[in-house]
Amino acid sequence: MSFISSRLTFFFVRLSQGRLLALALLGLAGLVLYRIEDTPLANLHAAQFDHYQRQMPRPREEQPAIVVEIDSRSLAEYGQWPWSRDRVAELVERILAGAPLAVGLDMLFSEQDHYSPEALAQRLPSLSPTALQQLPNPDRHLAQVLASGPTVLAISGLSRQLSGSRAPQKPLTQVDQLESARPRLIHFAAGLTSLPILEHAAAGEGFINPSPEKLTATRERGVLRRVPTLALIEQQPFLSLPLEMVRLALGEEGATRLDLGAKGIQRIHIGAYSLPTQPNGEVLLHFGKADSHYYLSAADVLAGRVAAEIFASRLVLIGFNASGLQDRIVTPLGDSLPGVDIHVQVIESLLAGIALQRPPWLPNLELAALLMSGLILIGVIPAMRPRYAAATFVGLSLAWVLSGYIAFKVGGWLFDSTAIVLLLSPIFMSLLSGTLIVADNQRRSAEHALHSSREEAARMSGELDAARRIQIGLLPNPSKDFAQEHRFEVAALLEPARAVGGDYYDCFTLDARRLCFAIADVSGKGLPASLFMAVAKTLTGALARRAPDIGQAMREVEVELNRENPEFLFVTAFVGVLDVETGQLDFVRAGHDAPLLLRGGEILRIDAEAAAGPPLCAVGDFSYQAAQTQLAPGDLLCLFTDGVTEASNGVSLFGVDRLIDAMIAPARETSMQARIEDLRDAVRNFEAGQPAADDLTLLLLHWRGGKNVNAD
Amino acid sequence: MQLTVSQHASATIVAPVGRIDHASADAFLAQVQTLLATHGPDSPPLLLDFSAVDYIASVGLRALMVSSRQAKSSGGKIAIVALQPLVQEVFNIARFNLVIACFDTLESATKELSACE
């Protein structure tokens, strides 16, 4: 339980990054998709399905149906419509002569012929009844012709009773599952039919309404997409005209059957043929490209210019296709076709078993696809860089669009991928803008941080540069200070590892014959070390000048330094006082490496147990004592810090031995300045580019000798 | 740097391992200071066993110096035991045996320090 709640908490915490808005948008998108027929998106929805049909129209390989069209030429040759029933009878007779499977008349003969005896009697009351009886009856003539073959008459279903409307005479006698399907079926309150005499004569009747919505609604922009297959007219079941023709053609085998699902009708069967339907029995037509090859002019048929054999084993429709007799529809393919063409398309569809499918579960699938994709986007986009986020969305969109095409191609399934992609877009945009805002904020704060760190670095380097200048400024320049000196020569060098370090050297005369020199290393680095170094150097200088001997000077230095030392820094130092006349050297070693002494090509160490103490400030009150040694003329002293001996090439340390080698190396006499630079170069070459870890400080003191040397 | 502390009747032994340099000196000092905080004149001596210390930098020496001063001010005893040659050399140069007592073995340390009392 706690696991679940922690996961939930995690989920909601994660949600805070703009995901809540996206989730709300997804909910809205789901609602829109669920009620898409009530939104402006319905047009897009329909347009997408029309687009599929235009890309992949139904193939029309066979011509099972022929249209005999009452076209402009027929009207020109045989006069205005309505033609006499005799002429219609002649037309039907000529078609039946070719032994067609069925003939459907896409027209109504609701009133008596103008030349029927009854009509003439009304118009010409003077005619005698005998004369009337001898007159031919065109309606009866047509009825006789209709009765001679498999003919189907049209019914126009009406939404309400009109004068002249009545129940058609030839409903289907047997439809499997009709009673269960009855509440779902399209229901016409009344029908407009042909004369009863004709109805009785014909083999069947079928309705010709494209769709009842067409009577009241124009929402589908006048584009015909669906036609009813089976409808109730005054509670009696009727097939549409083209289906009735197929049923008649099949004869005994043309049983009509409905497949029912939970939501209504799924499929209509006529004999061995069937079509998938909407729950109300409508079929979503998959239109083929318009074609005029199966159109014959009624004028040609009447004049005998068409061989009757052409009608053999075909379904023949008689309909209008003249500009004066407007009955045109617009198909999803964008064609404007005569209404009778729809019947041909329905016949072809049924015989091929091809229709579009949008069963009731398909919108649910679309909804699931939308919600799933939306959740995926909400899950992954905020964690992605904008570039990959865009690629993910484009990829997902393409996948849905492609699956829409594949679904149509494979089974005529109308899967509305466009609506999914369109409804996902606002979600993606809100997520992406969230990502971009986060990225932008990060960039800004990174820029800000960079800026301030640069500022800080500049400020620090300014301070450190100043500190370094002060530090270096504190150091004497012995080669310059003692340029005129003949008895000795001093050179010194300090290269800080960081901007400022804790090393220092010093070199000054106490009086005419005493030279004080020192090298020291403050523990630690940076500003604290350099400040401590400044204090230590000043104190050492001042106290060395005042104290009678160097040992006492160092004791006083330690006491003074130790007085204020909150950082607990300490200083290793070597301080020496050389009598430049006699060569006597007094020295104190405070935790510092003993200097090297080069005498006649040999290296010695300046050291004495008595003069060796811990670093200054390490103990606080150590009793430093000075030791003495005697230099020989020509002796060279080398003072160094651990920046020399602990210089590293990444593998090993420079060490005292390498320093000794470098000291011995020069074959001829050079200036101390050149020598000290050679030593420095030896260390730097050894380091081979490795950054120096510590200050590098060296001091060389060459004692030439006393006054004797001066005399030279 | 790792550090183990073991309490014995005769001494508290702190054994650091590895290098005591810029990266580890502060942590080392903090641990030793924590131990010294409860350290009085009557406590057993605090022995820093350096048998596993390879290297000590000047900041490490400073840590020892600070520890030594703290022990001195509280009257406690602190010493270093078993220096390795490289570290011993640093101690020789810096004369740190004058800052903090150094012994070769734990036994000699405990013996010497208890003898002082």
Confidence band, pLDDT 50/70/90 cuts, at residue A153: very high
Distance from the Cα of A589 to chain B's closest Cα (Å) equals 9
Average pLDDT over residues A382-405: 90
- Residue B98 contacts A where some CB pair is shorter than 8 Å: yes
In the chain, the amino acid numbered A106 is: D
**A283 with A355: CB under 8 angstroms?**
yes
pLDDT at A96: 94
Measured at the alpha carbon of residue A238, what is the angle toward residues A236 and A240, in degrees to the nearest 5? 155
C-alpha–C-alpha distance, residues A122 and A538, integer Å? 146
**pLDDT surpassing 70 at residue A205:** yes
Of A272, A283, A265, A267, nearest in space to A249 by CA: A272
Distance from the Cα of A547 to chain B's closest Cα (Å) equals 24
- What are the φ/ψ torsions at residue B40 (nearest 5 degrees)? -125, -175
Closest CA in chain B for residue A529: B59
Closest CA in chain A for residue B58: A523
Closest CA in chain A for residue B63: A568
Q: Contact B62/A524, CB-based, under 8 Å?
A: yes
Confidence band, pLDDT 50/70/90 cuts, at residue A69: very high
Would you say domain A475-711 falls under CATH 2.40.50.1020?
no
Confidence band, pLDDT 50/70/90 cuts, at residue A664: confident
pLDDT at A518: 94
User: What residues of A are in contact with residue B99 (Cβ under 8 Å)?
Assistant: 614-615, 618-619
User: What residues of A are in contact with residue B95 (Cβ under 8 Å)?
Assistant: 589-591, 612-615
pLDDT at A15: 52
pLDDT at A7: 53
The DSSP 8-state label assigned to residue A607 in this structure reads -
By Cβ distance, the residue of B66, B95, B96 closest to A568 is B66
- What is the number of residues in chain B? 117
In this structure, of A142-151, A411-420, A496-505, the range with the lowest mean pLDDT score is A496-505
- What is the number of residues in chain A? 712
C-alpha–C-alpha distance, residues A235 and A503, integer Å? 113
C-alpha–C-alpha distance, residues A529 and A535, integer Å? 10
Q: Contact B62/A570, CB-based, under 8 Å?
A: yes
Place of tokens 């070459």: A685
The DSSP 8-state label assigned to residue B96 in this structure reads G
Confidence band, pLDDT 50/70/90 cuts, at residue A218: very low
Confidence band, pLDDT 50/70/90 cuts, at residue A90: very high
Residue from A519, A522, A523 whose CB has the most chain B CBs within 10 Å, to mutate: A523
pLDDT tens for A599-655 read 988 888 887 776 789 999 888 888 999 999 999 998 999 999 988 988 888 888 898
User: What residues of B are in contact with residue A622 (Cβ under 8 Å)?
Assistant: 98
pLDDT at A215: 42
User: What residues of A are in contact with residue B69 (Cβ under 8 Å)?
Assistant: 568, 620
By Cβ distance, the residue of B62, B93, B95 closest to A523 is B62
Q: Contact B95/A614, CB-based, under 8 Å?
A: yes
Residue from A619, A621, A622 whose CB has the most chain B CBs within 10 Å, to mutate: A619
C-alpha–C-alpha distance, residues A562 and A684, integer Å? 35
Q: CATH number of B2-112: 3.40.605.10, 3.30.750.24, 1.20.1560.10, 3.20.20.70? A: 3.30.750.24
C-alpha–C-alpha distance, residues B22 and A525, integer Å? 10
Closest CA in chain A for residue B69: A619
Confidence band, pLDDT 50/70/90 cuts, at residue A709: very low
Task: Tell me the DSSP string of A308-329.
Answer: GGGGTTSEEEEEEE-TTS--EE
Closest CA in chain B for residue A614: B95
> For residue A296, what are the contacts with CB-CB under 8 A and spacing of at least 6?
A66, A67, A68, A69, A306, A310
By Cβ distance, the residue of A523, A570, A593 closest to B93 is A593
- Residue B61 contacts A where some CB pair is shorter than 8 Å: yes
User: What residues of B are in contact with residue A524 (Cβ under 8 Å)?
Assistant: 58-59, 62
Task: Tell me the DSSP string of A64-118.
Answer: -EEEEEEEHHHHHHH-SSSPPHHHHHHHHHHHHTT--SEEEE-S---S--TTSHH
C-alpha–C-alpha distance, residues A68 and A92, integer Å? 10
Average pLDDT over residues A403-409: 93
Distance from the Cα of A380 to chain B's closest Cα (Å) equals 41
pLDDT at A4: 52
CA distance to A294, A315, A445, A565, A567, per residue, from B28 (Å): 102, 104, 37, 21, 16
- Residue B5 contacts A where some CB pair is shorter than 8 Å: no
Average pLDDT over residues A351-378: 91
**pLDDT surpassing 60 at residue A349:** yes
User: What residues of A are in contact with residue B54 (Cβ under 8 Å)?
Assistant: none
User: What residues of A are in contact with residue B65 (Cβ under 8 Å)?
Assistant: 568, 570, 617-618
pLDDT at A326: 67
**pLDDT surpassing 90 at residue A507:** yes
User: What residues of B are in contact with residue A519 (Cβ under 8 Å)?
Assistant: none
Residues of chain B with pLDDT below 50 are none
pLDDT tens for A530-557 read 788 888 899 898 998 888 899 999 999 9
Confidence band, pLDDT 50/70/90 cuts, at residue A569: confident
By Cβ distance, the residue of B59, B66, B95 closest to A591 is B95
Partners of A67 in the β-ladder: A295, A317
pLDDT at A11: 52
Confidence band, pLDDT 50/70/90 cuts, at residue A220: very low
Report which of residues A621 and A217 the model is more confident about: A621
pLDDT at A145: 93
Closest CA in chain B for residue A619: B99
User: What residues of A are in contact with residue B98 (Cβ under 8 Å)?
Assistant: 613-614, 618-619, 622
pLDDT at B115: 66
Domain ranges within chain A, ordered by starting residue: 2-53+360-442, 66-352, 475-711
By Cβ distance, the residue of A569, A594, A619 closest to B98 is A619
pLDDT at A9: 53
By Cβ distance, the residue of A524, A614, A620 closest to B94 is A614
pLDDT at A214: 45
Q: Contact B66/A591, CB-based, under 8 Å?
A: no
Q: What percent of chain A has pLDDT over 70?
A: 94
Write down the mean pLDDT value for chain A.
86
Average pLDDT over residues A71-86: 89
- B contact residues 8-37, partner A, Cβ 8 Å cutoff: none
Which structure tokens are listed for A151? Answer: 């003919």
Place of tokens 């990959």: A388
Of B5, B74, B62, nearest in space to B29 by CA: B62
- What are the φ/ψ torsions at residue B37 (nearest 5 degrees)? -60, -30
**A517 with A552: CB under 8 angstroms?**
no
What's the predicted TM-score (pTM) here? 0.56
Of A101, A131, A136, nearest in space to A116 by CA: A136
Task: Provide the 3-class DSSP secondary structure of residue A20.
Answer: helix
Sign of the CA dihedral with A482 first, then A488, A489, and A494 last: negative
pLDDT at A380: 87
Task: Tell me the DSSP string of A349-409.
Answer: HHHHT--BB--THHHHHHHHHHHHHHHHHHHHGGGS-HHHHHHHHHHHHHHHHHHHHHHHH
Q: Contact A568/B65, CB-based, under 8 Å?
A: yes
Confidence band, pLDDT 50/70/90 cuts, at residue A474: confident
- Residue B1 contacts A where some CB pair is shorter than 8 Å: no
User: Chains A, B: CB contacts under 8 A, how many?
Assistant: 53
**A527 with A495: CB under 8 angstroms?**
no
C-alpha–C-alpha distance, residues A4 and A1, integer Å? 5
Which structure tokens are listed for A642? Answer: 């651990």
- Residue B59 contacts A where some CB pair is shorter than 8 Å: yes
